[in-house]
Amino acid sequence: MTHLPCLLIPVFLLIGMIPGAKGADPALRSELDRVYHDWRSALINKNMDAWKRSTSLFRQVVTRNLIVSGGQPYPDSIFEIPIQPPEITKLRMLECEANGNTAHLVYFGKIDLGLDAEKIPDNLLILKFFKEGQSWKFDTTRFINLEEVPDIRAGLQNGSADFLNEPAFTPSGIVPPVPTECRKPPYMAALQMQSYGYETKAQINGFDYPPVTDNSEQQLIIGGLAWGKNDLKLSIKAIPIPEGEERILEVNAVVITHAKDRPQIRIFSWETTSATPPAEIDLPVWVSGGTLKGH
């Protein structure tokens, strides 16, 4: 799946204020609240200058690269989003926490994304921020659907939020480097990964992609592919699998044509089922007359 829409809008998580919310520093909470509301207002009012002022530089470049790589007009497409950023004033805040130059607000409640749903269930919303110089900037949101964990949802409804002590719910303290602005793609393309029994990270032509672990994903290739050789590097780590199950890592590169008869052309494929895969492997991805005929 191409992640363009949800990366253009940082994803959302919510929680309203409860007595003794973890890490509830009033000054920090007030500052992060203000930054988020500035960002939300900029998005709703389609104000590019305000969006840049409130958005982290890392997220600005990531958003630009996704738009350009998807063949959409920049910056107009920033505001062409299918959902609206949620209002957080009616949510219950569970946590306000900073770690170095990273911080987050965690909310719980009925997160309204403007999708005209008949019923909005209680879920989690995490708002993430980076500090640039002396100012906090909004980066992204993470929405957690609690449908599959009704015990956690019920616990939150009763005021219990012990899971916030888990490392996954602590700001990392690491601000990622701002990526290079990509070119307009010569060939719009995507990387398809089936990574079961592995944690797999990809780098293509110098751009890094999120790891895929026990999942299948399609990721838009930043800057697309160029005619000739393109450099793909995979970092692979085998992880434990349940007894009786098989591991598989399959990586495909496809050129996106948008043609009715052939919307995608697979030009590259590589796979392994080894329990001891190479930690790193460099693979050439060729765009040529031959590969464009497809596999």
Task: Give the CA radius of gyration of the chain.
Answer: 21
Domain boundaries, the chain: 4-169, 189-293
Successive 10-residue mean pLDDT values, the chain, 295 residues: 35 35 78 97 95 97 96 91 88 95 96 80 95 97 91 89 85 95 97 98 96 96 98 97 94 95 96 97 97 85
CA distance 231 to 285: 6
Report pLDDT for 72.
93
State pTM to two decimals: 0.85
Angle at 196 between CA 231 and CA 247, to 5 degrees: 105
Report pLDDT for 167.
85
Q: What is the pLDDT of residues 267-284, one digit of tens each?
A: 999 999 999 999 999 999
Report pLDDT for 295.
67
CA distance 36 to 141: 10
Report pLDDT for 5.
33
Q: What is the pLDDT of residues 171-193, one digit of tens each?
A: 999 999 999 999 999 999 999 99
Report pLDDT for 12.
33
Q: Candidates 3.10.450, 2.30.30, 1.10.357, 3.90.1720; correct CATH number of 4-169?
A: 3.10.450
